[in-house]
Structure 1
């Protein structure tokens, strides 16, 4: 769990906060534990030039309001055939862009802060939200082993993160995620329903959310 050394990194700023057992919010964690937001934004631009953002279709035929792309050996895709991970980008039939070492190290440090050691993700989902875009409450169940955590990075526009319980009708708590924040969902929180309320306009044009997972 969060130790004194990790706590010292945050002592001058907002402190890490447990939203629920296994759900840790690390305000400003991208700057403290990783390469920083500027580096990540440049990497997203390079990655999306190789694998462009697209609005996926749900199995029910609905167009997602959030645009998405991927990096790493596995990429999450959705269409009429269902939700799944694929080693190839359906648009190009080529492998997704690689995951840089800096991002893997950041994900491992964030997971360690929440008590999950030796996290080695093989998938990075990159979501792009414009004002008005949202993510409905859902569970992440497409990974082979949900014992592994998910590490989430927020960049750009602030967003209201919704964290529910293990059933869709559970009480939902709300937490603002701002540019530079990290969030870890693991253990008891790994299968909690979660989502994002409609994003509001602000000084930045968009919000990027990166979620690092071990898919296979």
Structure 2
């Protein structure tokens, strides 16, 4: 894909959603960190249902640490992998208290040192909570980037590196949100909704005929 087409795609996504936001509910960097940690292999909807009950009672490292693993499980047991997530969350809270004065560090290495926090989670926190131009590549962004030919790669790390290289600076802060929302609601996995896609004429994907539907006028 050439840069002219790439920029046009990004401009359309920006016009359609000038101020994109995560669909996770959060009011502090710590709430965001825990929500993202819980969201692995789970939907944002399921995480929000859990944190909407948890955060009014415990939304600081100390408060959640005081719940203990078993106490925390009662709030997140509807989320997949809740046992390991509860253990990692309590360990993360302990590290934040012991090493960072109960604050979420604005530092990649420090974030990735927390239990259950990998590069993708760190990228989300750095981008959404602290305004870094990072791009967290999940399955949606990996699919959209490869399918449209926006930034192709064999692994999520490859796609992240390519996106960081080819996305102009003015779009980097928001491109994570645009692509994840596009993948979640339009460029879905099995049957992409090409007929209602705002970048269909710029996309370099060749869908099977059954996926092509006329746009509604």
Q: Same fold (TM over 0.5)?
A: no
Higher helix content, 1 or 2: 2
TM-score when normalising by structure 2: 0.28
If you compute each CA radius of gyration, which structure gives the higher value, 1 or 2?
2
